[in-house]
Structure 1
Amino acid sequence: MYLAVFQEFAHPEVLARVEAEEICSIDRATGPCTMAKSEQELAAVRSNAKLIIDDATTSEEAVEAALAALRKLGFVVTHRHPVTSAGCPMRDRVILSYTA
């Protein structure tokens, strides 16, 4: 399980805490996000993250524990199991926003 964030994520201190508390690993994009243009899109890039459940054997309890720990740090779940453009649920993802 890992937390994926854009390079522009504006809260590196929170990412350090996620790693220090061994909640999950961090995958930070190596290049800037070129798709975000508007101020609203840029704000989302600076505050959004995805929890990726990378192993089919990861238990639901482990996912819930990670989400609870992330909520304690100030993350809010915005989409649990988002859907693709074709409408298929992505059960291996949880979209989060850092609001603290």
Structure 2
Amino acid sequence: MDLTQELKEAADQLSLTRRRFAKGEEGLRLLHQSREAFINSLRNTGLTYAEAKTKYDNCLDEQEVQLHGMLDQMMYAERMHQYVLHRISLQQPQDVPAPQAATA
């Protein structure tokens, strides 16, 4: 695979993981905001407050773990993108100024 294709794929992967991470952050923010509504809706199913709160806490913990995993994926995608950019830069001819002759 040529480097241009690798760069496109790395950029696509980075963009995808950034969008997923942003959605995960938004979901976690909304979950925090809707704590009481979430617990009350569980209580309407017949759970006690303590049981509903435990379910909410478990859900929150699971979402935080998933978000942390997504952060790891996003950081990996960023590293891969930078790596491909670095490989491309190594293939580019360097514009080195020619040494100037000393004038006396």
Q: TM-score, normalised by structure 2?
A: 0.23
Highest CA radius of gyration, 1 or 2? 2
Greater per-residue helix proportion: 2
Q: TM-score, normalised by structure 1?
A: 0.24
Greater per-residue strand proportion: 1
* Higher RCO (C-alpha 8 Å, min separation 6): 2
